[in-house]
Amino acid sequence: MNNWLRTVVQGNMFYLIAFGLLTPIFALFLIEKIPNANLLTVGISEAIFLMTFSIIRPFTRLSSQSDSRGFRIQYLLWFGSVFIVLSPFLYLLSRDMLDIYVIQMLYGIGVAFSEPAWSRLINQTCALPTEKFNEPFYTAGTLIAAGLAALGGFIAQEQGIPSLLLYVGTTLFCATIIMILIYNRIGIHKAKNIW
Amino acid sequence: MVNARIKLIASIDLLLAASFGLILPILPIFLVERINGATIFNVALAYSIFLISKAFFGWIFALFMSHEKVSTRAKGGLFFGSILITLTPIVYLYSIEITHIYLAQILLGLGFGFLKTSWMYLTHQTIEELLHETLLNIHGYILTFCLAMVAIFGGFIAYNYGYTLLFYTMFGLGLLATILSIVFLMTKNNPTKNKSKRKIRK
């Protein structure tokens, strides 16, 4: 398959999972913006995202396992993308740690809903590794995430964290639109016209 | 079925990920509070240095490993990777400037690059080809859940008892994983046993 398409899919997936530019400085954002935030609540907020993701992910995988044509996965991708795109804008409106917990839960649901579609795209755009050394398989995605993390730190230092959140929200919207378009193009197997 | 080697190698990965996961959510706060001259950009740069070194060293080690003596080099990679990840909390603990943190991140990336590459090969070697994907899926679910639990635990330790105890806990978990990796190196893969099971399943 096309190498550029594979890189775009991997980069988008890493960007959406790692919350793009925000991941390394998320704890600092919480400490600065939220009144009751401390080390324990920051740990809990991260744990809520991971726990929601790990609890819902097996069920979405199971529901999409028998979906050979890919329509059910497409609906899950749409709903998940809406949750993911909404979360940075909701961070801007949050006032208490409880709001952050709910937003983290929503973000976890979004990532768990979108994950079957991403893995299906990865499987279709990448040829399966024939050798046992498939660690360089995800190198492009990791490097893109690294570059974006440094860029996020630069933007946060120059412009402040609220402007970074707006920027992240906009770029996440673009990334999800690109993923949905790519999925429409290559993820769905339409039935043959029997007439 | 699951044998002792698979249990061992899955436990090694879980313990090392848990060791790093203790500090992961609160690392930016630690850097800004304790390190001289750390800014938001430095924190983000440290994170990206870790990712770049992990990808780079993982790639180099995969090429090195696939050249010759694959099994021996993979075992060595598992052992040295776990040692490097175990030593990183000590570097965090005694670091004063942001340059030391960058070095610690490079060390951590080196360790994870070694570990992930050799871990993938050794799981391929230990389990059947058909069951490997199932193993990776189940291991992924358990790993994410373990990281969630450990994030709360790390925040609790740092909030109540300070960063020093947190780093010693990380070191202890890493040490346990290193001991388990030594035990894994001493066990032998038994291909005849696997073949007999494959026949029964067919």
Q: State pTM to two decimals.
A: 0.85
Distance from CA of B100 to the nearest CA of A (A): 18
Contact A21, A167 (CB under 8 A): yes
A-proximal residues of B, 134-173, CB under 8 Å? 137, 141, 144-145, 147-149, 151-156, 158-160
Q: Could you state, in order of their start, the residue ranges of all structural domains in chain B?
A: 4-187
Please report which confidence band the pLDDT of residue A90 belongs to, taking 50, 70 and 90 as the band edges. very high
Q: Which of A18-22, A121-125, B94-98 has the highest mean pLDDT?
A: B94-98
Q: DSSP string of A75-134?
A: HHHHHHHHHHHHHHHHHHH--SHHHHHHHHHHHHHHHHHHHHHHHHHHHHHSPPP-SS--
CB contact under 8 A, B44 and A61: no
Is the CB of residue B5 less than 8 Å away from at least one CB of chain A?
no
Is the CB of residue A165 less than 8 Å away from at least one CB of chain B?
no
**Cα A101 to Cα B52: distance, rounded to the nearest angstrom:** 30
pLDDT digits 0-9 by tens, A174-188: 888 888 888 888 877
Q: Which residues pair with B97 in a beta bridge?
A: B36
B-proximal residues of A, 46-85, CB under 8 Å? 46-51, 53-55, 57-58, 61
Alpha helices in B22-39 (DSSP H): 27-34
pLDDT of residue A24: 78
pLDDT for B176 beyond 90:
yes
Which residue of B35, B50, B51 is the best one to mutate when testing the A interface, meaning the one whose CB has the most A CBs within 10 A? B51
Residues of A in contact with B52 (CB under 8 A): 142-143, 146
Amino acid, res. B120: M
pLDDT digits 0-9 by tens, B23-65: 888 888 999 888 888 888 888 889 889 988 988 888 888 888 8
pLDDT digits 0-9 by tens, A147-172: 888 888 888 888 888 888 888 888 88
**CB proximity list for B152: less than 8 A, separation 6 or greater:** A40, A43, A44, A47
CB contact under 8 A, B59 and A139: yes
Please report which confidence band the pLDDT of residue B83 belongs to, taking 50, 70 and 90 as the band edges. very high
Q: Which residues pair with B36 in a beta bridge?
A: B97
Contact B201, B127 (CB under 8 A): no
Residues of A in contact with B61 (CB under 8 A): 135
Which residue of A33, A36, A41, A135 is the best one to mutate when testing the B interface, meaning the one whose CB has the most B CBs within 10 A? A135
CB contact under 8 A, A26 and B28: yes
| Architecture of the domain delimited by B4-187 | Up-down Bundle (1.20)
Residues of A in contact with B25 (CB under 8 A): 26-27, 42-43, 45-47
**Cα A14 to Cα B180: distance, rounded to the nearest angstrom:** 31
CB contact under 8 A, A132 and B124: yes
Q: What is the largest CA-CA distance in chain B?
A: 63
pLDDT digits 0-9 by tens, A21-43: 777 788 888 888 888 888 888 89
Amino acid, res. B9: I
Is the CB of residue A160 less than 8 Å away from at least one CB of chain B?
no
Supply the DSSP symbol for A192. P
Closest-CA residue of A relative to B121 is A132
Is the CB of residue B42 less than 8 Å away from at least one CB of chain A?
yes
CB contact under 8 A, B25 and A153: no
Residues of A in contact with B54 (CB under 8 A): 142
**CB proximity list for A13: less than 8 A, separation 6 or greater:** A118, A121, A122, A141, A179
pLDDT of residue B134: 82
Name the CATH superfamily, with its identifier, for domain A3-127+138-187.
MFS general substrate transporter like domains (1.20.1250.20)
